């Protein structure tokens, strides 16, 4: 996934000579806490946040250029960068949004942290059931019932939780990848549980084929 697939294109863009009065109205209307400042060619020259605007009002500044951060002080990403770069930059610099540039440094979008959260949380919200369905498809010759039976056995062995195959199936229909990771104690543990289930069904399948 690329930055351009997660960026906001309905962003506010302003010029250095605009008044902070005008700019504040546009930011409030569009509910944007940050906005890129561009020149006549739409190239990035600076960046302002609503906190720069409040300071500007308090200190009786008039124009965007009096309150803006210069381009060299801010984090940017390119539209074709991997989306995960924007994630890392936002996390590292603790910013609420990052301007996105194209190959000629024109501002084409803004990545906002809640766009990132939305993208990341979509991954988390995948049902565990779908992962098991993918597993069933991959493991030709292993039935769904065998998979649920093996899952219940592995769960009983590992947690002491006396779950049946039917209860296990119900559980994965309702739970998401995010819940499963938090419940098992992390990604590696989740994978290990999965591998244990895989090992059991595959060993049974191979044994059956050799009978």
| Site residues, its own copies (CB under 8 A) | 1, 21, 24-25, 27-28, 31, 33, 49-51, 53-55, 57-58, 82-84, 87-88, 90-91, 94-96, 112-114, 116-118, 120-121, 123-126, 130-131, 134-135, 137-139, 177-179, 181-182, 187-189, 191-192, 194-196, 198-199, 202-203, 206-207, 210
- Asked if 86 contacts 101 with a C-beta cutoff of 8 angstroms, the reply is no
> Cβ closer to its own copies: 32 or 42?
32
Q: How far is the CB of 25 from its own copies (least distance, A)?
A: 7
SS3 18: coil
Q: Which two tokens stand for residue 90?
A: 């936002």
> Cβ closer to its own copies: 40 or 137?
137
> Cβ closer to its own copies: 147 or 152?
147
- Asked if 45 contacts 37 with a C-beta cutoff of 8 angstroms, the reply is yes
Side-chain half-sphere exposure of 162, counting CA atoms within 13 A: 0
- Cα–Cα distance for residue pair 62/17, rounded to 1 Å: 9
Of 199, 206, 126, the residue nearest 158 (C-alpha): 199
Count of CB atoms situated within 10 Å of the CB of 67: 23
> Cβ closer to its own copies: 65 or 127?
127
> Cβ closer to its own copies: 106 or 196?
196
- Asked if 108 contacts 101 with a C-beta cutoff of 8 angstroms, the reply is yes
Residue 145 CB contacts under 8 Å (≥ 6 apart), including other chains: 165
Over its C-alpha atoms, the chain yields an Rg (Å, rounded) of 26
SS3 175: coil
Q: How far is the CB of 119 from its own copies (least distance, A)?
A: 9
Q: How far is the CB of 117 from its own copies (least distance, A)?
A: 5
Q: How far is the CB of 112 from its own copies (least distance, A)?
A: 8
> Cβ closer to its own copies: 112 or 149?
112
Q: How far is the CB of 16 from its own copies (least distance, A)?
A: 18
Q: How far is the CB of 43 from its own copies (least distance, A)?
A: 26
């Amino acid at each position: 996934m690329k930055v351009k697939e997660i960026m906001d294109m309905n962003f506010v863009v302003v010029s250095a000579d605009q008044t902070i009065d005008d700019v504040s109205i546009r930011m409030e209307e569009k509910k944007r806490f940050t906005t890129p400042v561009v020149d006549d060619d739409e190239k990035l020259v600076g960046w302002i946040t609503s906190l720069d605007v409040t300071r500007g009002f308090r200190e009786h500044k008039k124009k965007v250029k009096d309150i803006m951060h210069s381009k060299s002080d801010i984090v940017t990403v390119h539209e074709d960068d991997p989306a995960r770069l924007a994630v890392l930059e936002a996390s590292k610099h603790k910013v609420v949004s990052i301007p996105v540039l194209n190959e000629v440094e024109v501002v084409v979008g803004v990545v906002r942290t809640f766009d990132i959260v939305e993208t990341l949380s979509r991954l988390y919200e995948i049902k565990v059931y779908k992962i098991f369905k993918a597993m069933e498809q991959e493991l030709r010759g292993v039935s769904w019932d065998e998979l649920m039976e093996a899952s219940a056995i592995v769960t009983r062995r590992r947690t002491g939780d006396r779950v049946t195959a039917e209860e296990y199936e119900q559980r994965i229909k309702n739970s998401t990848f995010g819940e499963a990771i938090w419940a098992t104690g992390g990604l590696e543990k989740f994978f290990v549980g999965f591998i244990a289930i895989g090992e059991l069904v595959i060993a049974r399948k191979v044994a059956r084929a050799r009978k």
